[in-house]
Amino acid sequence: MKRYGWLPALGLALVLGTGLLLAGCNSGTTTTTAPAVGGSTTESTAPPETGGNAANDTFTYAQGADPRGLDPALVDDGESSKVISNIYEGLLKYAADSTKVEPSLAESWQVSPDGLSYTFKLKQGVKFQDGTDFNAEAVKFNIDRQIPPKATADMSYGPFVYGSVKDVVVVDPSTVTINLTQKNTAFLANLAMSLAAPIVSPKALTDGSNSVMENPVGTGPYKFVKWNKGENVVLVRNDDYWGEKAKTKNVIFRIIPDNSARVLALNAGEVDMIDGIDATVVNTITQGGNKLFEAPGMNVNYMAYNTTTEMFKTVEARTALSQAINVEELVQSLYQGYSEKATTILPTFVPGYDATVKQVGYDPAAAKAGLAKAGITKVHMIAYSNPRPYNAATGATLAAAIQGYLQKVGVEATIDTFDWTTYKEKVKAGDFDIGFYGWIGDNGDPDNFLNLLADKDPTMNIARWQDPKYIADIKAALAMPNGPERDAAYGAMEKYVAERAVWLPISHAKTLAGYRPNVSGFIYHVTGNVFLSQAVKQ
C-alpha cells in the first residue's frame, strides 16, 4: 500500500487549493506598481535601524537555488549574482533605476579620442574586507586573470566583459588605463556588471588556502559570514565600508527551491522578500498582506525557426507559420498581464528600441494559404520543461499553446520536452524545426540582445541564422559611440530581422518580487540583481 502515499497528500492539496480559491473571491487584487527603487515612500522618514530590535536587524531574502559560487569570475547564474552584488563592487555601477553607468570604485574616467584606451581615476582609501588596500594593482590583477594567457575555460563571463581588452597599465596607485584591441561602446556598461566585473581582493585570490568561490572578499557594504549549502548564505554589515553604510546589520539569503513554499514562507513572515514568482501566486501574496514589486524586465522570450532546415530556410515559410499565431492573445492568456507582448527583440527601455518595428501579424487565412504553398503539414518542436525568468509558463506550455494555433491551420506539431540541461544539448544538436528560448540582458546595451542573431554558436543563435549583412551591421554598430545614430542603426537591424521572420518574439516578462509590508529601501535592479544595503525593516 506504500505506493498510495501521495493520494492523501493530493486530497489535502485539493482541499487547501479550494479554500484559497474561496478566500480569493472576496477581495480584489491590490498590486502596487513600485518604481525600480522599492518602497521609496518611506525612505526619507525611516531612521536607520542599527541596534535596537534584534529581529529588525536581519533581512532575509529567499531565492530558488544556491549560488553556484561567489567568485564573480567563475559563475554565470542569477542566484550567485544577487549575493555577489552585495559583497563586491566594480569600477562602475548602474543607476538604481536604469542601466546608465555611474561611478563606483572608479571616481571618474576618460576615453581616448580613438576609443581604444580608458583611463580610470580610482577612489582612494578603499579597503577590501580582508583589510588590504584597493588600488590600481588590484584592478590589473582582476582583469589580467580573466584575459589570455591567464584566463581559464570556466570563466564564463570573462570573454564577454573583457574580450576586447588588450592590456591593463598601472599609471599610479590610483590611476589605471585599460587598452582595447577594438572599439567597443558596450565596454563601460560591461564594467558595471555583477559577473566578471566586480573587483576581488588579490590577497584572497592568491592566498590558496581558501577558495574565493566559497569565501568571497570584496569592497562592498556586506561581508561574507558563512554559507550553509542548500540552506542559506549569511552576510554581515561591513562596518569599514567607504560609502554609506548598510542600514540592516545582517542579510541572509535563504534557499527555498519550491515556488509555493517560498510564497508560504513570505506569508508566514519567515522571510522578508522573495523572488522567482509568477502570476499564479500574485493573489496569494497580496492576500497574505504582502506587497508585490513589479517592474519591466530586461529580457525577451521568443520562438525561433531552425533556418538551416529545408522547411524553414525561406522567409515565406517562416512568415506563413508566424501568421498562424496570435501572439497578443497568447501572451495575455499565458502570462496574465505579467509579461508584455514583444514587438521587437529589444525591451522598450533599452536604447535602440524602435516602436515602429512590426513583426509578422496574426492572419490565419494567409497562414493557411502560405503553409499549403510551402507544403508544411508537420513540424517538430522542442521545448524546455521548466519555468525560466523570461517565461514563467515553461517552454512546454508555450509550445503547447503554439501547437494549438497550428492545429487550427491544419499543421500537426509534435513537441519533445526536455529539462533545461538536456534541452540545451538538443538545441546544440539542431534536430528541430522550431525551438523556444529567451535572453536575459546583462548590461542594457542593444548589442547584448541583437548580437544573438549574429553569433556563430548555435546555443546562442538557435535559429542558426547567418546573414552576412546583419553580421557586418552588428560589428559596425558596436564601434559607434552612444547616441541617436547608434540607436538608429539598431532600429534598422530590428526591422531587418523582423522582415525575415527569423524569430517570433513573444514577450518581455516583468520582474516580480514579493516583500513584507514593513520592508523598504531595497533596490531590485533591472538586471535582476538585488541591492540590500539600504533596505530597512520597520
Q: Of 164, 169, 167, nearest to 186 (Cα)?
A: 164
Rounded to a whole number of angstroms, the minimum distance from the CB of residue 435 to other proteins is 16
Minimum distance of other proteins from residue 468's CB (angstroms)? 38
Q: To which H or E segment does residue 140 belong?
A: helix 136-144
The smaller minimum CB distance to other proteins, of residues 463 and 512, is found at: 512
- What's the min distance (Å) between Cβ of 280 and other proteins? 4
Distance in Å, CB of 284 to other proteins, minimum:
5
Torsion sign over Cα 161, 166, 172, 176: negative
Which DSSP helix (H) or strand (E) runs through 260? helix 259-267
Whether omega before 149 lies within 30 degrees of 0, making that bond cis, reads yes
Instruction: Closer to other proteins by CB, 335 or 437: give it.
Output: 335
From the list 70, 72, 68, 67, the residue with the least C-alpha distance to 161 is 72
Task: Determine contact, residues 368/378, Cβ cutoff 8 Å.
Answer: no
| Of 24 and 173, CB closest to other proteins | 24
230, 204, 298, 300: which is closest to 79 by C-alpha?
Answer: 230
CB 494 within 8 A of CB 514: no
**Closest to other proteins by CB, 217 or 396:** 396
When the beta carbons of 131 and 337 are compared against other proteins, the nearer one is 337
Distance CA 265, CA 74 (A): 31
Which parts of this chain interact with other proteins (CB under 8 A)?
A: 3-4, 6-7, 10-11, 13-14, 16-18, 20-21, 24, 259-260, 263, 278-281, 283-284, 326, 329-330, 332-334, 385, 387, 393, 396-397, 399-401, 403-405, 407-408, 414-417
Least distance between other proteins and beta carbon 279 (Å):
8
CA 234 to chain centre: 23
> Shortest approach of other proteins to residue 394 CB, angstroms?
8
Cα(323)–Cα(320) distance, integer angstroms: 5
**In the complex, what is the shortest distance from the CB of residue 22 to other proteins, in angstroms, rounded to a whole number?**
10
Place of cell 521568443: 302
Closest to other proteins by CB, 241 vs 405, is 405
Instruction: Say whether 501 sits in a helix, a strand or coil.
Output: coil
Q: Which is nearer to other proteins, 240 or 329 (CB)?
A: 329
Q: CA 85 to CA 216: how far, in whole Å?
A: 11
